[in-house]
Amino acid sequence: MGERKSGAQIVWESLLHEGVEVVFGLPGGAILPVYDALAKYEYPIHHVLVTHEQGAAHMADGYARATGRVGVCMATSGPGATNLITGLATANMDSSPVVAVTGQVSTALLGRDGFQEADIQGISLPVTKHNYLVTNIRELPDALVEAFYIARTGRPGPVLVDICKDVQQMDMEVEYPESVNLPGYNPTLTAAAPEAIARAARLINEAERPLIVAGRGVAIARAEAELRQLAEQANLPVVTSLLGIGTFPETHPLSIGMGGMHGEAFTNFALQECDVLVAIGARLDDRLTGAFSTFAAKAKIVHIDMDASEVGKNLTIDTPVVGDALLTLRELLSLVEFNEHPTWLAQIAEWKQDTDQRDVLAQETDELVPPFVMRQLWHATHEGDCTVVSDVGQHQMWEAQYFPHTKHRSLVTSGGLGTMGFALPAAIGVQMGLPTEEVWVVAGDGGFQMTMPELSTVVSERLPLRIAIINNGYLGMVRQWQDVFYDKRYSSTPLFNPNFVKIADAYGIPALAVNRKQDVEAAIRKAQAERGPFLIDFQVEPFANVFPMVAPGKSNADMIRRPLPAVVENATEL
């Protein structure tokens, strides 16, 4: 038998066993025994005190995305736990391995609506991969081991462990469980069935207009090298989803960028016109596909995904290939041949020429437009040798369009849930996981203010985060929809912003406001030269919108394009 340990100690011991180095959290009544026991474990495990539990969940998520290890967050019962929900839902949508440990009222009070009681198991059920309510200390060691196991294996995701306060206080003789007993969960990674892979290879080899769509599943499987090999070996152009950015170098001749609602026109034309589409680790959600019925309508679709429920969820799939991306691609590589696809590649190049002509950066203007900031940032970081953590909205799309990512996992962003306020706390997690990395927060003025108080966490942890606020004084993407679909009625989108430089100053963070093109580069250089955090308030042209744009529910072929420079003055379409 092992030593006698309290439930609170068992929590920390389990974290130690899992190799956890950092926990993001905020204490409260129902988790106090765990926090009281922290003192003994503080050196191996570093606790980051956050200002709001939502921040803790995003930090754990950001940490997990940057490192591939499980991120851990902690909160008390009731409001502490419910504040985690947005962060857990964000991690769930983007398949990020997170374990949340929450305190719960004592078992004697369960179900009596005691102070700070909330049914967090019930509340978190649809936004977690799995969850536990621990009412008996005998169940605690297994629940924790299983939580980490479930979070990091198979298709990763968040797992919540809710622990009653009296369970934290009890003690028992404990042996750390060596294995898990989960008869309904078998996450063994395997390649897809050989027949499915052979069928996929045949389709690829016979295709005249083939195309790959790579998603975050490629990054989760660490299959970036195999993806590149597949593209080069069979000469296949590669589109990525937003979360697939970074899985394939965007400066590669076969890269044709991000597709979907704000994909470049030539990218979307390629999606619509291809005859074989190979989706790898991508959910094929509506932001990528546009109207499901019109998406890649001429194509036979090969869908490689380890989650069988994703295959055929949104689209009719000709060749389901259910298996781990890495192992499956390795098998596929031995079967695919090089083909010139001369007509197809020439067609894409022709579309690209047209797109290039409409490039915002090719137009002469003195206005400080966000794409200019993104491209400057790219140049200043040795062409993207940094990790960008973007928030949600227009700036996120401009970042995706104008910052070509070449490094794996160098973009961290909330794709599926589209959570404004994600960037700053997620970047804290990224920087904690990658202490020597240059990490840039790119956030809009609206989203930044949602989690702005985490600036105190940046300062208390002495993190050298570089923060770029793309400040247009509006909830920009919402305003853009009002421009396009609501006859410019700006209902509740103009923002009353604080002076961000003064805000930063109040936290002791040096900051600059920039509103002219010629000052952008110097400001970025200044931020890079700082040893600690630095904030730049980019006061950009307020009415710039993101194009191309596919209206929701429309076909990807029906884009609102950027104007051609020659016809700008009498452009009828934006």
Tell me whether strands 4-6 and 171-173 are parallel, antiparallel or unpaired.
Answer: antiparallel
193 touching other proteins, by CB under 8 A = no
Q: Where are the beta strands (DSSP E) in 488-527?
A: 511-514
Q: Please, are residues 85 and 167 in contact by the beta-carbon 8 Å criterion?
A: no
Look at residues 490, 504, 508, 390 and name the one whose alpha carbon lies nearest to residue 439: 390
Q: For the residues of 58-88, what is the DSSP string, one character each?
A: HHHHHHHHHHSSPEEEEE-STHHHHTTHHHH
Burial tier of 569 (Cβ tally within 10 Å: 0-12, 13-18, 19+) = exposed
Site for other proteins in 147-166 (CB under 8 A): 150
Name which of 252 and 313 has its Cβ closer to other proteins: 313
Selected binder of other proteins within 65, 130, 228, 479 (CB under 8 A): 130
121 touching other proteins, by CB under 8 A = yes
Q: How many CB atoms lie within 10 A of CB 346?
A: 10
Least distance (Å) from other proteins to the CB of residue 147? 11
Q: What is the dihedral of CA 328, 333, 334, 338, to 10 degrees?
A: 150
122 touching other proteins, by CB under 8 A = yes
Find the part of the chain contacting other proteins (CB under 8 A) among 183-191, 279-287, 472-480, 501-509: 183-191
Name which of 62 and 154 has its Cβ closer to other proteins: 154
Q: Which residue has the tokens 């259910």?
A: 322
Q: How far is CA 361 from CA 194, 378, 402, in A?
A: 47, 14, 9
Burial tier of 508 (Cβ tally within 10 Å: 0-12, 13-18, 19+) = exposed
Q: Whole-angstrom Cα distance, residue 215 to residue 413? A: 13
Name which of 307 and 318 has its Cβ closer to other proteins: 307
Find the part of the chain contacting other proteins (CB under 8 A) among 50-58, 177-185, 243-251, 385-393: 177-185
All residues at 6 or more sequence positions from 371 whose CB lies less than 8 Å from its CB, including other chains: 360, 361, 398, 401, 402
Selected binder of other proteins within 16, 38, 45, 182 (CB under 8 A): 182
Q: Whole-angstrom Cα distance, residue 337 to residue 253? A: 18
307 touching other proteins, by CB under 8 A = yes
Name which of 185 and 481 has its Cβ closer to other proteins: 185
Name which of 63 and 149 has its Cβ closer to other proteins: 149
Collapsing DSSP to helix, strand or coil, 304 comes out as: strand
Site for other proteins in 313-342 (CB under 8 A): 313, 316
Name which of 71 and 320 has its Cβ closer to other proteins: 320
184 touching other proteins, by CB under 8 A = yes
Catalytically annotated residue among 93, 261, 477, 559: 477
All residues at 6 or more sequence positions from 294 whose CB lies less than 8 Å from its CB, including other chains: 272, 555, 556, 557
Q: Whole-angstrom Cα distance, residue 301 to residue 317? A: 5
179 touching other proteins, by CB under 8 A = no
All residues at 6 or more sequence positions from 507 whose CB lies less than 8 Å from its CB, including other chains: 455, 456, 458, 459
Looking at the DSSP bridge assignments, the partners of residue 537 are 469, 513
Least distance (Å) from other proteins to the CB of residue 183? 5
Name which of 79 and 122 has its Cβ closer to other proteins: 122
Look at residues 233, 288, 240, 238 and name the one whose alpha carbon lies nearest to residue 260: 288
Name which of 181 and 491 has its Cβ closer to other proteins: 181
Selected binder of other proteins within 125, 297, 362, 571 (CB under 8 A): 125
Looking at the DSSP bridge assignments, the partners of residue 240 are 214, 258
Catalytic residue check, 233 = no
Catalytic residue check, 165 = yes
Catalytic residue check, 477 = yes
Over the window 259 to 298, marking each residue x when it contacts other proteins by CB under 8 A and - when it does not, the resulting string is: ----------------------------------------
Catalytic residue check, 116 = yes
Selected binder of other proteins within 21, 107, 185, 198 (CB under 8 A): 185
Least distance (Å) from other proteins to the CB of residue 72? 19
For residue 223, give both structure tokens.
């299959």
Q: How many residues bind other proteins (CB under 8 A)?
A: 19
Site for other proteins in 476-515 (CB under 8 A): none
Catalytically annotated residue among 13, 18, 53, 454: 53
Looking at the DSSP bridge assignments, the partners of residue 255 are 238
Selected binder of other proteins within 129, 303, 358, 479 (CB under 8 A): 129
308 touching other proteins, by CB under 8 A = yes
Catalytic residue check, 53 = yes
39, amino acid identity: A
54 touching other proteins, by CB under 8 A = no
> Where does this chain bind other proteins (CB under 8 A)?
121-122, 125-126, 129-130, 133, 150, 182-186, 307-309, 312-313, 316
- Any idea which residues carry the catalytic annotation? 53, 115-116, 165, 477
